[in-house]
C-alpha cells in the first residue's frame, strides 16, 4: 500500500513538472514582451521616415535626372536639324531625303503614300514614337518643302524640349523673326547654305514644328 501511494505521488510530481516545462517552452517560443517591443519600434520608425520625406526626395531626384536627360536629347535633336539643313536633308525622314532633289515617286517607293492630304502637303502621321511630317512638291514632283512636327510620345525629348533660347544659342540670331497673328506662333527664319530653315514656336515657348525649303 505504501509503495502504491509512493508511486502515485511520484507520477503526480512528474506530471506537474512536465506541465511547467511545457508552459515555459511556450512562453519562450513567443515572448510577449519582445513582440510588443518590436511593434513599438516599427511604429516609431515609420513616422520618422515620413517626416524625413525620403521617398519624395528620391522621386524628385529621379525626376530631375530624367528631365536633364530629356533636355539633352532635345538639344541633340536641335543640333542635328541645323546640321542636316546645311545639306538640305530632312531630319530623320527615311534615308537622307533632300529638299530640291528627292522626288515624290522616290518618297512613295520608300515609305508609301501619305495618310492624308493637307492643302498642297502630303501628311504623314506619327505613331508609336515616330515623328509626323508634311511634304510639298513642285510642278515637277520634286520636294520643295518639308515640315517636321516631331513626336507626340515623349515630345519633351525632341521639339517639345526646344525653346527660343535654345534655338538662339545653337543656331544663332535669325535673319528674320515673324509673328503669326492667326495662330499666335513665332517663326524664326535662318538661311543656311542654299536652304531656309524655320523654327515655328508655339505660344508656350517651345518649338511646334520646323520647316525646311530652298532659299528664295
How many CA atoms, within 13 angstroms, populate the side-chain half-sphere of residue 140? 8
Long-range contacts of 195-202 (CB under 8 A, 24+ apart): 195/85, 195/86, 195/88, 195/99, 197/81, 197/82, 197/85, 197/171, 199/162, 199/167, 199/171, 199/174, 201/163, 201/164, 201/167
- Residues 98-125 have pLDDT tens digits of 999 999 999 999 999 999 998 999 999 9
Domain boundaries, the chain: 58-214
Q: Is the pLDDT of residue 127 over 60?
A: yes
Q: Using CA atoms of 101, 104, 106, 108 in order, give the dihedral in degrees to the nearest 10.
A: 150
Instruction: Using pLDDT thresholds of 50, 70 and 90, give the confidence band for residue 94.
Output: confident
pTM of the predicted model as reported, rounded to 2 decimal places? 0.69
What confidence tens digit (pLDDT) does each residue in 25-61 have? 444 443 333 333 333 333 333 334 434 443 333 333 3
Given pLDDT bands bounded at 50, 70 and 90, which one contains residue 194? very high
Alpha helices in 135-211, H assignment, sequence order:
164-171
Amino acid at each position: 500500500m505504501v509503495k502504491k501511494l509512493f508511486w502515485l505521488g511520484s507520477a503526480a510530481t512528474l506530471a506537474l513538472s512536465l506541465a511547467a516545462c511545457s508552459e515555459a517552452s511556450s512562453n519562450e517560443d513567443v515572448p510577449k514582451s519582445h513582440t510588443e517591443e518590436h511593434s513599438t519600434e516599427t511604429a516609431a520608425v515609420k513616422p520618422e521616415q515620413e517626416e524625413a520625406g525620403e521617398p519624395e526626395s528620391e522621386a524628385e531626384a529621379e525626376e530631375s535626372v530624367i528631365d536633364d536627360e530629356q533636355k539633352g536629347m532635345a538639344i541633340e535633336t536641335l543640333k542635328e536639324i541645323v546640321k542636316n539643313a546645311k545639306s538640305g536633308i530632312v531630319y530623320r525622314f527615311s534615308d537622307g531625303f533632300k529638299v530640291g532633289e528627292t522626288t515624290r515617286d522616290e518618297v512613295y517607293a520608300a515609305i508609301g503614300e501619305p495618310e492624308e492630304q493637307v492643302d498642297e502637303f502630303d501628311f504623314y502621321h506619327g505613331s508609336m514614337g515616330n515623328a509626323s511630317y508634311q511634304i510639298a512638291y513642285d510642278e515637277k514632283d520634286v520636294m520643295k518643302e518639308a515640315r517636321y512636327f516631331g513626336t507626340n510620345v515623349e515630345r519633351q525629348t525632341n521639339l517639345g524640349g526646344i525653346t527660343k533660347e535654345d534655338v538662339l544659342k545653337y543656331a544663332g540670331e535669325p535673319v528674320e523673326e515673324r509673328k503669326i497673328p492667326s495662330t499666335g506662333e513665332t517663326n524664326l527664319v535662318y538661311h543656311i547654305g542654299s536652304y531656309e530653315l524655320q523654327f515655328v514656336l508655339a505660344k508656350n515657348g517651345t518649338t511646334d514644328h520646323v520647316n525646311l525649303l530652298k532659299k528664295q
